[in-house]
Amino acid sequence: MKLDLSGRTALVTGSTQGIGLAIAAGLARAGARVAINGRTADRVEAAIDRVREEVPGADATAAPGDVTDEAGADQLVRELPEVDVLVNNLGIFGPQPAMEITDADWRRYFEVNVLSAVRLTRAYLPGMISRGWGRVQYIASDSAVVIPAEMIHYGMSKTALLAVSRGFAKEAAGTGVTVNSVIAGPTHTGGVEQFVTEMVGEELPWDEAQREFMREHRPQSLLQRLIEPEEIANMVVYLASPLASATTGAAARVDGGYVDSILP
């Protein structure tokens, strides 16, 4: 399959590290002009350098800004008024006992993980519809379906993204624009390494800590290892491509078989 995104502009939120950075590199490899987003210009420029190192000749541009508030999102949209591919990747997570999650915590997770994506979808979807082509994606999580006891506020936010994705897919029905979510399983990123360490302790070497984490806290994984960010990116790039023109309103799983279901 040839995943050709030449001539398309893609915006990936929260793309200075981890899954977002891998997605940006993957889209650049497919020929897209990729806008790298992060809160600070320095981190964005560093991420652009990494994408260009990984993908020689990559067309990567800076799109700094805090999209978790209206002012930051408005500024980004003014500087990048049109995109063909929007990947809502930005998100936060962290363990917290259920009874200690405050009202402020609930609001923060909803604002960052859900409303930032809704805000950018409102900004960019009309243009995609008027041009008759576009791709909107939301990076969800297995936690959307299998709510983790140690961070139910995070699970709630990812469940909401599945609903948001399906709803906007209906808004774009029949227009040539597809809207999908990607259910990512436990993925090997810097943040997850820290999370794994918090869950199983600092004394174990990483390989052993990873296996212990999967065995004790994610035993339903059929992969029995953490997923690499590039494996998530592969699905995102496919869904962004013309080859995925008949896939919309879907929740595509890259979860290593974590969700115990025979349906996508």
> Phi, psi at residue 162, to the nearest 5°?
-65, -40
Cα dihedral 178, 179, 183, 188 sign: positive
Cα–Cα distance between 254 and 27 in angstroms, integer? 17
Cα–Cα distance between 180 and 169 in angstroms, integer? 7
The single-letter DSSP state of residue 227 is: B
Angle between helical axes of 18-29 and 229-240 (0-180°, round to 10): 50
CA dihedral 211, 157, 139, 18 (to 10 degrees): -50
Q: What is the biggest distance separating any 2 CA atoms in the chain, rounded to whole angstroms? A: 56
Q: Which of 124, 154, 238, 258 is catalytic?
A: 154
Do 89 and 18 meet the contact criterion of CB atoms below 8 Å apart? no
**Annotation marks residue 154 as catalytic:** yes
Which residue(s) pair with 86 in the sheet? 11, 136
Cα–Cα distance between 170 and 166 in angstroms, integer? 7
Residue type, 124: Y
Helix (H, G, I), strand (E, B) or coil at 204: coil
Give the catalytic positions in this structure.
154
